[in-house]
């Protein structure tokens, strides 16, 4: 356990002084921008565009990137069609209020909009990646001038491939001389989005405790009574379990509307601010526990990103040795980027919390994995060949648990630190260079 102790000690002061103060989330924050309650459905926000001045004499020469696909439709038809069918039956029974009838019309519109397009990238998501690419190009023009080589890879999932296409099309439109190669192969999944080991510890004592804690937390945050009174003329029209299920499904649908094309209404007004906050807290806790970060968990599932980190380190070595600028672009999922930033302790992506009621104060999924979430490693070199690296999470500078204050870190310090991290993870491949 030397690695864990060293990791905690090295990052303790950063975590307690700067990370947690920045990470503070409030109920008022979600009330002001209700779309944030969507968590990982939150449509990508516009970044501040504020960067710390580059140290004198240094020029960017390489960017290594991992981006989640852009905004998409809901993965499947279950929530929307089950909710619609319940409301249709209530309408046939003469039990819908005026608000209930309007909600049913909205559900019909949403389903017609998404039918046969579940899980697909929307134009909203397409535009997100074009905008991120444009900002990357304009922020680091030294990297993207001339006929540089760009290695772009995607998971073999439709929405990720299209996200890669939108990103690369934008870069190509800004500089037609770019030499971009595109790949989307199952062969790369072991590092692009490796969740094959999940479920191996489902019956472990800590996982059983977590499941019970999480289920109790969800129950604590589910209050459908007011909404049932607003939708149905008889507030007891649905049994308690079915009322809770319908309320949660309507929340899930409301969360995804911001990612859809051609929808000019919102379902968030169905909920009070307290109800939205409660449902978001449950969703936020899901992702936290999925990583194995709750204080009683001992699974460290964020280590599934070990081969992705290995790939980032290996590709950086190749780029540093090269005499020409280059870029490595990767397009995947929230389940790819979230473990990576937790493993690397990027910003506040890693923390340990015992009481889930306090989780929102230090960890918020919408700040970490909105649609089109991305991490960018920007490499700089001076005239004598010294290399610095800066990390951007969702295009904002973030701190790392290194001795240097940041945001510009010595590559040697960065490399040594994360090689040490990988050395304590079983089954990480010694190198991924030979697979490409």
Residue 274 lies in a domain: yes
Residue 150 domain boundaries: 2-73+124-199+299-352+360-435
Say if residue 84 is in the same domain as residue 58.
no
| CA torsion through residues 288, 290, 293, 295, sign | positive
Say if residue 132 is in the same domain as residue 271.
no
* Listed residues 290, 319, 344: the one ending a domain: 290
Say if residue 6 is in the same domain as residue 53.
yes
Say if residue 131 is in the same domain as residue 264.
no
* Listed residues 266, 290, 314: the one ending a domain: 290
Rounded Cα–Cα distance for residues 339 and 336 (Å): 6
pLDDT for residue 227: 98
Distance linking the first and last C-alpha atoms of the chain: 33
pLDDT for residue 7: 39
Angle among Cα 319, 55, 397 to the nearest 5 degrees reads 75
pLDDT for residue 198: 58
Say if residue 239 is in the same domain as residue 322.
no
Say if residue 246 is in the same domain as residue 348.
no
pLDDT digits (tens, 9 = 90+) for 397-416: 999 999 999 999 999 999 99
Collapse the DSSP code of 63 into the 3-class scheme (helix H, G, I; strand E, B; otherwise coil) and give the result.
Answer: strand
User: Which helix or strand (DSSP H or E) is residue 151 part of?
Assistant: strand 149-154
Say if residue 173 is in the same domain as residue 48.
yes
Rounded Cα–Cα distance for residues 288 and 351 (Å): 9
pLDDT for residue 86: 98
Say if residue 252 is in the same domain as residue 384.
no
Exposure pattern of 260-297 as b/e (b: 16+ CB <10 Å)?
A: beebeeebbebbeeebbbbbbbbbbbbbbbbbbbbeeb
CATH of the domain at 425: 3.40.50.1240
Say if residue 98 is in the same domain as residue 143.
no
pLDDT for residue 15: 37
Say if residue 272 is in the same domain as residue 343.
no
Is the bond leading into 253 cis (omega within 30 degrees of zero)?
A: no
Residue 414 lies in a domain: yes
Say if residue 107 is in the same domain as residue 61.
no
Low-confidence ranges of the chain (pLDDT < 70): 1-23, 196-203, 431-436
Residue 184 lies in a domain: yes
pTM as predicted: 0.92
Residue 188 lies in a domain: yes
Residue 205 lies in a domain: no
Residue 333 lies in a domain: yes
pLDDT for residue 99: 98
Residue 206 lies in a domain: no
Q: What is the total count of domains within the chain? A: 2
């Amino acid at each position: 356990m030397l690695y864990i102790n060293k990791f905690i000690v090295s990052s303790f002061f950063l975590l307690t002084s700067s990370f947690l103060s920045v990470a503070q989330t409030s109920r008022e924050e979600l009330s002001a921008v209700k779309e944030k309650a969507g968590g990982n459905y939150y449509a990508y926000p516009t970044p501040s565009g504020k960067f710390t001045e580059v140290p004198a004499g240094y020029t960017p020469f390489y960017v290594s990137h991992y981006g989640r696909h852009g905004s998409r439709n809901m993965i499947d038809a279950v929530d929307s069609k089950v909710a619609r069918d319940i409301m249709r039956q209530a309408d046939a029974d003469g039990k819908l209020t005026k608000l209930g009838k309007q909600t049913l019309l909205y559900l019909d519109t949403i389903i017609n909009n998404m039918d046969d397009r579940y899980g697909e990238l929307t134009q909203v998501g397409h535009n997100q990646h074009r905008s991120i690419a444009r900002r990357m190009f304009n922020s680091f023009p030294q990297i993207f001038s001339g006929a540089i080589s760009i290695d772009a890879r995607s998971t073999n999932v439709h929405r990720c491939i299209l996200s890669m296409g939108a990103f690369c099309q934008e870069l190509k439109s800004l500089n037609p001389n770019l030499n971009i190669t595109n790949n989307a192969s199952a062969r790369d999944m072991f590092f692009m989005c490796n969740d094959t080991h999940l479920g191996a510890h489902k019956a472990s004592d800590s996982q059983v405790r977590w499941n019970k804690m999480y289920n109790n937390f969800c129950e604590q945050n589910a209050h459908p009574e007011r909404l049932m009174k607003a939708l149905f003329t008889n507030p007891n029209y649905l049994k308690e379990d079915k009322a809770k299920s319908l309320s949660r499904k309507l929340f899930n649908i409301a969360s995804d509307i911001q990612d859809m094309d051609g929808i000019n209404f919102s379902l968030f007004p169905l909920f009070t601010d307290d109800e939205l906050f409660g449902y978001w807290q449950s969703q936020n806790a899901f992702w936290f526990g999925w990583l194995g970060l709750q204080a009683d968990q001992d699974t460290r599932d964020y280590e599934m990103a070990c081969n992705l980190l290995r790939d980032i380190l290996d590709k950086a070595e190749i780029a540093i040795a090269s005499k020409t600028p280059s870029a490595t672009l990767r397009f995947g999922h929230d389940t790819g980027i979230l473990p990576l930033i937790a493993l690397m302790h990027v910003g506040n992506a890693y923390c340990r919390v015992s009481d889930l009621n306090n989780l929102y104060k230090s960890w918020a999924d919408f700040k970490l994995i909105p649609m089109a979430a991305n991490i960018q490693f920007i490499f700089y070199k001076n005239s004598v060949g010294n290399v610095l690296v800066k990390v951007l999470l969702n295009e904002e500078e973030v701190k790392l648990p290194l001795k240097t204050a940041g945001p510009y870190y010595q590559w040697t310090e960065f490399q040594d630190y994360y090689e040490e991290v990988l050395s304590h993870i079983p089954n990480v491949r010694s190198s991924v260079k030979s697979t490409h």
